[in-house]
RNA sequence: CGGAGCGUAGCGCAGUCUGGUAGCGCACCUGCUUCGGGAGCAGGGGGUCGGAGGUUCGAAUCCUCUCGCUCCGACCA
């Protein structure tokens, strides 16, 4: 993408309403525009990151054997009357009437609707296990939306639902989700710690939240800091292997890690003092096992091997996709701007032409741009007629992890400069070597 | 939902107390100079002062109502 033809409305000054760093940078980098309290337009740069995050979520869900579908944002009230939640959900649910005066709602979650789909089409244990998920906009009419996309009223969420024949199978689904979530967050450059949680209006007694440590987090967290060193890495996981998946969950949930909702001081005190940490975290996902709560209420049953009918065992699992943008920025930025992890960056690399209009630098930049594209890497090429300082400031603000700087001084020696946004370190090399190095960096992402 | 505050140009703000017909910086447009970390000079365009009603010779400014947004608290992906 050539910046001169892109739509990237960056702001030099901090918008007054933005209190936390991710909100400030998202506005300043031209990623979002607020349209109402807790409701945002996604501008091109923000949309690119949102799509990247969705893509990673999709890939990891499908890798775990979960199946995508898409349910609507608007739902009929009657479905929610069956579970009893139409009345229970309260003011947070946005209720709407259509022209026939039918009661509708903008979905805050989809347990009822997925159960309706299930009961309409599945009758036998032979069709299980089954996990369906979608990534769809949700609306929760929060009392107090704040922190930009971190607590919006409209937000993009991945929500998945598992259907299993018995409790053991459902708990395996729970574990499978935990592992797939760990891998998802790691690919986004995040350390998200599973913490035992309270269940809230979804219901159920087995639930973990995934927390990203950050000063600006809304939850107080208590943890053994050795959990932050745990990494899934590239290990090979067979998601159908119950024992292997359970072992991974055990590895990641044995050390103490709780939110204030489930914190137990007496247990926490047994953590060695050197590792005992209290901090704050951003909740970026939650998984639940809730058994037959919805299937019983809504008559979602399957016939078992011995011919009896049983309500299907269920769980649900959510990742706050739009919230993740904020969480990643909170976890990865400096005083100049965002620092995107390679996994989610809107563009893999930026090209800065220090002397636009100079035939040598222009030609070198065009060559780089095309060579990168040939490797499947779409660079953001700053071809504006701006001074070097302005170009650097823009690149730093929008946070592309790698920058190739092309100027007449370097070209005279046959080199360009490859700079890491994270470390600030620069290395001079030929244009060919820079392309090769960037390609190598992204080969593993 | 309780408490506090703010709406004046695209963004950040001053002007409101003490009414006199709207200003600064950034951004934008033109020209010249400049050109490896958000340039300088000169010129220029842009605002029914959130909305409605009222008081007044006269309202951004005073009064009433209303809408929107932000922050602090209790709730949540």
Mean pLDDT of A42-57: 97
Structure tokens at A307: 């011919």
| Closest by Cα among A368, A394, A335 to A45 | A394
Give the residue from A109, A162, A160, A107 showing the smallest Cα distance to A300: A162
Please answer whether residues A133 and A54 qualify as being in contact, where contact means their C-beta atoms are separated by less than 8 angstroms. no
Overall size of chain A counted in residues: 445
Residue with tokens 């998920």: A133
pTM of the model: 0.96
A204 touches strand B (CB under 7 A): no
Instruction: For residue A38, give the 3-state DSSP assignment.
Output: coil
Mean pLDDT value of segment A274-284: 93
The answer to whether A341 CB sits below 7 Å from nucleic acid chain B is no
pLDDT at A18: 85
**CA A156 – CA A46 distance, rounded (Å):** 13
The pLDDT of residue A205 is: 60
Question: Does the nearest atom of strand B lie within 7 Å of A320's Cβ?
Answer: yes
pLDDT, averaged across chain A? 94
Which residue(s) pair with A279 in the sheet? A221
pLDDT tier at A16, thresholds 50, 70, 90: confident
Q: What is the pLDDT of residue A19?
A: 83
Distance in angstroms (rounded) separating the CA atoms of residues A144 and A379: 39
Residue A233 CB partners (closer than 8 Å, separation 6+): A186
The Cα A79–Cα A117 span in angstroms is 11
3-state DSSP of A331-353: HCEECCEECCCCCCCCCCEEEEE
| pLDDT tens-digit map of A80-118 | 999 999 988 888 899 999 989 999 999 999 999 999 999
Residue range A213-251, pLDDT digits in tens: 988 888 899 999 999 999 999 999 999 999 999 999 999
Rounded CA–C1' distance between A385 and B44, in angstroms: 22
Regarding beta strands A32-36 and A206-213, do their DSSP bridges make them parallel or antiparallel, or are they unpaired?
unpaired
Nearest nt by C1' to A410 Cα? B36
Residue-level pLDDT at A436 = 98
Least confident span in A88-97, A178-187, A202-211, A410-419: A202-211
Of all residues in chain A, the percent with pLDDT exceeding 70 is 98
Average pLDDT over residues A344-371: 97
Q: Which nucleotide is nearest to A318 (CA to C1')?
A: B77
pLDDT tens digits, one per residue of A164-177? 999 999 999 999 99
pLDDT recorded at residue A201: 56
The pLDDT of residue A143 is 86
Q: Greater confidence, A143 or A437? A: A437
* Residue A215 confidence (pLDDT): 84
ipTM, two decimals, is 0.93
Distances (CA, A) of A337 to A66, A197, A330: 36, 33, 11
Chain B nucleotides covered by protein, CB below 7 Å: 1-2, 11-13, 25-27, 34-39, 68-77
How long is the CA A106 to C1' B58 vector, in angstroms?
51
Three-class SS of residue A206?
strand
Residue A103 CA to chain centroid, in angstroms?
Answer: 32
In this predicted model, what pLDDT tens digit does every residue of A291-339 receive, in sequence order? Answer: 999 999 999 999 999 999 999 999 999 999 999 999 999 999 999 999 9
Residue A204 has pLDDT above 70, yes or no: no
């Amino acid at each position: 993408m050539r910046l001169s033809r892109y739509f990237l409305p960056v702001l030099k000054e901090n918008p007054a309403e933005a209190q936390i760093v991710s909100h400030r940078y998202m506005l300043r980098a031209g990623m979002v525009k607020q349209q109402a309290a807790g409701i945002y337009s996604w501008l091109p740069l923000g949309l690119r990151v949102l799509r990247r995050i969705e893509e990673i979520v999709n890939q990891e869900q499908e890798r775990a054997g979960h199946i995508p579908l898409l349910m609507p944002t608007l739902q009929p009230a009657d479905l929610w009357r069956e579970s009893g939640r139409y009345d229970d959900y309260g003011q947070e649910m946005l209720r709407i009437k259509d022209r026939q005066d039918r009661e509708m709602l903008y979905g805050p979650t989809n347990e009822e609707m997925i159960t309706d789909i299930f009961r309409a089409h599945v009758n036998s244990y032979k069709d299980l296990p089954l996990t369906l998920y979608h990534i769809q906009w949700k609306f929760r009419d929060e009392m107090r939306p704040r922190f930009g996309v971190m607590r919006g009223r409209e937000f993009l969420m991945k929500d998945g639902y598992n259907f299993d024949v018995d409790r053991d199978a459902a708990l395996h689904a729970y574990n499978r989700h935990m592992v797939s979530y760990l891998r998802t967050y790691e690919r986004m450059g995040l350390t998200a710690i599973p913490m035992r949680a309270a269940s809230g209006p979804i219901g159920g007694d087995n639930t973990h939240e995934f927390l990203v440590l950050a000063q600006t987090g809304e939850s107080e967290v208590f943890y053994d800091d050795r959990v932050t060193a745990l990494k899934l890495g590239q290990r090979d996981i067979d998601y159908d292997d119950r024992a292997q998946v359970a072992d991974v969950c055990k590895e990641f949930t044995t050390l103490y890690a709780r939110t204030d909702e489930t914190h137990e001081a007496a247990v926490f005190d047994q953590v060695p003092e050197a590792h005992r940490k209290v901090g704050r975290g951003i909740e970026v996902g939650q998984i639940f096992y809730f058994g037959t709560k919805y299937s019983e209420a809504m008559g979602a049953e399957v016939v078992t091997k011995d011919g009896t009918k049983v309500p299907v065992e269920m769980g649900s699992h959510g990742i706050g996709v739009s919230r993740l943008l904020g969480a990643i920025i909170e976890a990865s930025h400096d005083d100049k701007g965002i620092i995107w992890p390679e996994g989610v960056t809107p563009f893999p690399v930026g090209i800065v032409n220090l002397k636009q209009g100079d035939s040598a630098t222009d030609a070198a930049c065009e060559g780089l741009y095309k060579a990168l594209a040939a490797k499947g890497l779409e660079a953001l090429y700053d071809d504006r007629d701006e001074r070097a300082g302005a170009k650097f400031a823009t690149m730093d603000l929008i946070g592309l992890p790698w920058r190739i700087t092309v100027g007449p001084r370097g070209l005279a020696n046959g080199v360009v400069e490859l700079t890491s946004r994270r470390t600030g370190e620069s290395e001079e090399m030929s244009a060919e070597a820079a392309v090769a190095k960037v390609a190598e960096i992204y080969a593993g992402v």
